[in-house]
């Protein structure tokens, strides 16, 4: 296997780029600390006064000490629900932790955020956690402490296919698939939300704080005139000793979580996918300095192979068709000991044949996918499926090539071929948005709609239907059509449109809507990808790879 040639690029420009992204990461880290805090001090004091741990304390007590918790969806609902006081992290903590050494999906309501009520994006976040558990056959633990649906927005969360009821549908499917689900009722669990823990395979409840009922005391009084306190209606003694609805009761949060940990120690290991593995090796260039390769401007070129030198074990990369379809870099290598197939956009200046007999010419390809690159990408995806090698997509794509020559060359059919191969791929797919992700390029490079097991974004990521310049000019021209305005007014409209469009291209915008699972430090990419592959390997079932009809 070839070793990537590393250029000595750590000059002043490299250092300036690295410092820029480090400052960006510091700013993001400060915002993330606020999101992790959840509710205000008053809400936390109220939680503690009841003898209850916070959501994050519960997650910490459940998971193995000293093991990293891969939090997913931290930015969910960022900038949403401001008229209601906001909903940091959508009022629920989700992610992947280790319990007695095995990967477990964790869902923990944060009762300091609107009493743990479900907003529309809370629902979407919980469904995403269940999807991850289902696709990767990971056990899941629900730490329930929720007042139920946030009633002012009930019409956006209750009846549709991807709304509240889908969580219980997933409960049923996972149980039928043999994916173990554990629930702990550590606070109120009301109405339809009562089905989540009881449709899990096993359930626990905490005395004095946990309660579960289809209708709370206020609704019972309104409906049938019965006046009954919550503890008598659906507290731990009632639901464990009398009704038998819940399996175990505990005096406090700590003993409940300790019992769950002991039960997880007894779970069978289960089969795993036989992906190729070897001993991990350090990359050729330090992973913590990878930010120095990425330009500050999204339009500047850089060499993708330099990024790979900071990602691949030993800098080893067996490139596929290196001199053909050069706007796409494809090949195989290892990340933290896991075999991976890389599909990455190329942003450098390369020599490209003109096809006119005039020889080569230098061309800044800028992340564009040409016909030959699309054909190459489709074939490489097929090869990785044939070999059983998981795929890692590194997205910095401005779309497919346009224009007369591209259309006459069949760019649509070649692009469709790559999209078809990616859509039908059956090996695990992981996507990292490292730069631009525009138009159909997002699809071909395995965006959210194309079944990636996990999706991550660097601070440099930008997801949009097109670039800010093109979009803002197009939108501004539509707004100003048939309008007689001065040049100054036109510039003002263009600037305002561009600012609004650029805000929607920020990675926090994508993460708030769960288009990506997390915004990560580029230096952590190796560890995060390896952790994702470890989870993906828990599902040994892989259907036959077929692509259907392809135009050639």
Mean of the per-residue pLDDT values of the chain: 91
Q: Provide the pLDDT for residue 159.
A: 87
Q: What is the pTM of this model?
A: 0.94
Instruction: Locate all alpha helices (DSSP H) within 284-370, ordered by sequence.
Output: 304-311
Q: Provide the pLDDT for residue 505.
A: 84
32: which 2 tokens? 């993330």
Considering only residues 497 and 278, tell me which one the structure prediction assigns the higher pLDDT: 278
Q: Provide the pLDDT for residue 298.
A: 82
98-129 pLDDT, tens per residue? 999 999 999 999 999 999 999 999 999 999 99
Residue 464 has pLDDT above 80, yes or no: yes
Percent of the chain at pLDDT exceeding 70: 91
Buried/exposed 24-40: b ≥16 CB within 10 Å, e otherwise: bbeebeeebeebebbbe
Gap between the Cα atoms of 63 and 98, Å rounded = 5
Element (H, E) at 456: strand 454-457
Gap between the Cα atoms of 324 and 316, Å rounded = 20
Residue 374 has pLDDT above 70, yes or no: yes
pLDDT band of residue 465 (cuts 50, 70, 90) is low
Residue 467 has pLDDT above 80, yes or no: no
Over residues 412-432, mean pLDDT: 96
Cβ-in-10-Å burial (0-12, 13-18, 19+) of 478 comes to: exposed
Q: Would the CA dihedral through 531, 537, 543, 547 be positive or negative?
A: positive
56-92 pLDDT, tens per residue? 999 999 999 999 999 999 999 999 999 999 999 999 9
pLDDT band of residue 379 (cuts 50, 70, 90) is very high
Considering only residues 485 and 322, tell me which one the structure prediction assigns the higher pLDDT: 322
Distances (CA, A) of 135 to 132, 189, 277, 286, 412: 5, 27, 21, 32, 31
Which region among 6-15, 332-341, 353-362 has the lowest average model confidence (pLDDT)?
353-362
Gap between the Cα atoms of 382 and 460, Å rounded = 29
Gap between the Cα atoms of 125 and 105, Å rounded = 12
Residue 350 has pLDDT above 70, yes or no: no
Strands 102-109 and 92-99: antiparallel
Q: What is the dihedral of CA 260, 266, 267, 268, to 10 degrees?
A: 170
Over residues 40-60, mean pLDDT: 96
**Chain center to CA of 196:** 23
pLDDT band of residue 188 (cuts 50, 70, 90) is very high
Query: CA nearest 395: which of 342, 423, 434, 439?
Result: 434
Q: Looking at mean pLDDT, say which of 219-228, 263-272, 355-364 comes out highest.
A: 263-272
Residue 237 has pLDDT above 90, yes or no: yes
Which region among 162-166, 321-325, 458-462 has the lowest average model confidence (pLDDT)?
162-166
Q: Provide the pLDDT for residue 29.
A: 97
32-43 pLDDT, tens per residue? 999 999 999 999
Residue 186 has pLDDT above 80, yes or no: yes
Q: Would the CA dihedral through 12, 507, 303, 25 be positive or negative?
A: positive
Q: Are 104 and 55 in contact (CB under 8 A)?
A: no
Q: Provide the pLDDT for residue 7.
A: 61
Over residues 325-343, mean pLDDT: 97
Give the other-Cβ count within 10 Å of 524's Cβ: 18
Over residues 339-347, mean pLDDT: 96
226: which 2 tokens? 């019965």
Element (H, E) at 495: helix 487-504
Over residues 506-534, mean pLDDT: 97
What is the SS3 string spanning 417-436?
HHHHHHHHCCCCEEEEEEEE
106: which 2 tokens? 């964790």
Q: Are 330 and 311 in contact (CB under 8 A)?
A: no
- DSSP output for 96-136: EEEETTEEEEEEEE-TTTGGGPBPHHHHHHHHHHHHHHHHH
What is the SS3 string spanning 131-148?
HHHHHHCCCEEEEEEECC
């Amino acid at each position: 296997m070839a070793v990537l040639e590393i250029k000595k690029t750590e000059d002043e420009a490299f250092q300036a780029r690295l410092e820029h992204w480090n400052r960006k990461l510091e700013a993001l880290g400060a915002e993330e600390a606020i999101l992790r805090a959840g509710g205000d001090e008053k809400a936390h004091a109220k939680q503690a006064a009841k003898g209850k741990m916070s959501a994050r304390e519960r997650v910490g007590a459940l998971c193995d000490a000293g093991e990293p918790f891969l939090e997913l969806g931290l930015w969910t609902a960022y900038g949403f629900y401001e008229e209601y006081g906001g909903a940091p992290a959508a009022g629920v903590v989700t992610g992947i932790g280790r319990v007695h050494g095995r990967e477990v999906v964790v869902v923990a309501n944060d009762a300091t955020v609107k009493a743990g009520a479900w907003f529309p994006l809370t629902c979407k976040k919980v469904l995403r956690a269940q999807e991850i558990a289902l696709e990767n056959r990971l056990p899941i633990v629900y730490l329930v402490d929720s007042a139920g649906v946030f009633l002012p927005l009930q019409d956006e969360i209750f009846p549709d296919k991807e709304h509240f009821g889908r969580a219980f549908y997933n409960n049923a499917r996972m149980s039928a698939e043999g994916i173990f689900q554990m629930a702990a009722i550590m606070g109120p669990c009301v109405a339809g939300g009562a089905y989540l823990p009881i449709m899990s395979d096993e359930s626990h409840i905490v005395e004095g704080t946990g309660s579960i009922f289809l209708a709370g005391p206020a609704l019972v009084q309104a409906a049938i005139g019965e006046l009954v306190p919550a503890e008598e209606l659906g507290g731990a003694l009632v639901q464990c000793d009398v009704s038998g609805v819940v399996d175990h009761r505990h005096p406090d949060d700590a003993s409940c979580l300790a019992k769950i940990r002991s039960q997880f120690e007894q779970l069978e290991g289960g089969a795993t996918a036989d992906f190729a593995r070897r001993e991990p090796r350090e990359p050729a260039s330090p992973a913590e300095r990878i930010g120095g390769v990425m330009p500050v401007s999204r339009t500047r070129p850089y060499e993708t192979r330099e990024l790979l030198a900071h990602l691949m074990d030993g800098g080893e990369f067996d490139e596929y068709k290196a001199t053909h379809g050069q706007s796409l870099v494809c090949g195989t290598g290892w990340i933290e000991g896991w075999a991976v197939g890389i599909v990455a956009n190329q942003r450098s200046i390369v020599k490209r044949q003109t096809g006119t007999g005039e020889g080569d010419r230098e061309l800044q390809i800028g992340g564009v996918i040409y016909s030959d690159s699309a054909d190459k990408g489709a074939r490489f995806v097929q090869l990785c499926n044939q070999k059983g090698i998981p795929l890692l997509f590194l997205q910095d794509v401005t779309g497919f090539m346009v224009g007369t020559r591209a259309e006459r060359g069949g760019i649509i059919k070649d692009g469709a071929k790559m999209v078809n191969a990616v859509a039908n791929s059956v090996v695990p797919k992981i996507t990292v948005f490292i730069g631009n992700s525009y138009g159909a390029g997002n699809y071909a490079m395995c965006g959210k709609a194309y079944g990636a097991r996990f999706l991550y974004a660097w601070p440099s990521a930008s997801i949009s239907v097109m670039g800010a310049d093109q979009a803002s000019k197009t939108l501004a021209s539509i707004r100003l059509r048939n309008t007689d305005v001065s040049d100054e007014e036109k510039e003002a409209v263009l600037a305002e449109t561009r600012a609004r469009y650029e805000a929607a291209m920020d990675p926090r915008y994508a993460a708030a809507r769960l288009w990506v699972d997390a915004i990560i430090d580029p230096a952590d990419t190796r560890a995060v990808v390896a952790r994702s592959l470890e989870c993906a390997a828990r599902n040994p079932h892989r259907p036959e790879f077929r692509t259907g009809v392809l135009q050639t």
